[in-house]
Amino acid sequence: MKKIFLDSDIILDALLKRPGFYLPAMNIINLAYQLHFKAITSSVAFVNVHYFLDKFDRANKFQLLIDLRSIVSIIEIGETTIDLALKSGFSDFEDAVQCYAAMGAKADIIITRNIKDYKQSTITVLTAEQFLRTL
């Protein structure tokens, strides 16, 4: 089964129903729920999602996270991931951490909205729309 890494922007697009981005992101989460592939994200992304939910959907944040957690597996960030990210030369440190976390988890694909920050990734990086077209 393919392992798909979801960046925090994709999760937020789905949970916050962001106009123009909601449907593709939610479709990916629904496909993961139906077990078409295994969806993963990092512990850092999960915390980032909580931070934004607290600002935009405080009343529902924990239920949204509980529901998400029932579908998406969480991978931990350790010293090796941070060390690789620090030395990577990525322009965005958080994206470097996400990329190396995905690599460490042996993800097949990273789904994000900012592909440009993942230029150095050795894993295929796609937008939600691009990924859905591959199915």
The average pLDDT across 117-132 equals 94
Task: Say what the pTM is.
Answer: 0.94
Show Cβ contacts of residue 8 under 8 Å, excluding neighbours closer than 6 positions. Answer: 41, 45, 46, 48, 49, 52, 98
Written as six digits, the tokens of 110 are 């990273």
Q: CATH number of the domain that 33 lies in?
A: 3.40.50.1010
Q: What is the pLDDT of residue 69?
A: 96
Confidence of residue 15 (pLDDT cuts 50, 70, 90): very high
Confidence of residue 7 (pLDDT cuts 50, 70, 90): very high
> Strand 38-42 relative to strand 3-6: parallel, antiparallel, unpaired?
parallel
For residue 57, pLDDT beyond 80 = no
Gyration radius of the chain's alpha carbons: 14
Question: What stretch of H or E contains 5?
Answer: strand 3-6
Question: What total number of domains does the chain contain?
Answer: 1
Range of the domain at 105: 3-134
Q: What is the pLDDT of residue 75?
A: 96
For residue 89, pLDDT beyond 80 = yes
In the sheet where 38-42 sits, what is the strand order?
A: 73-75, 38-42, 3-6, 109-111, 124-126
Written as six digits, the tokens of 79 are 């010293």
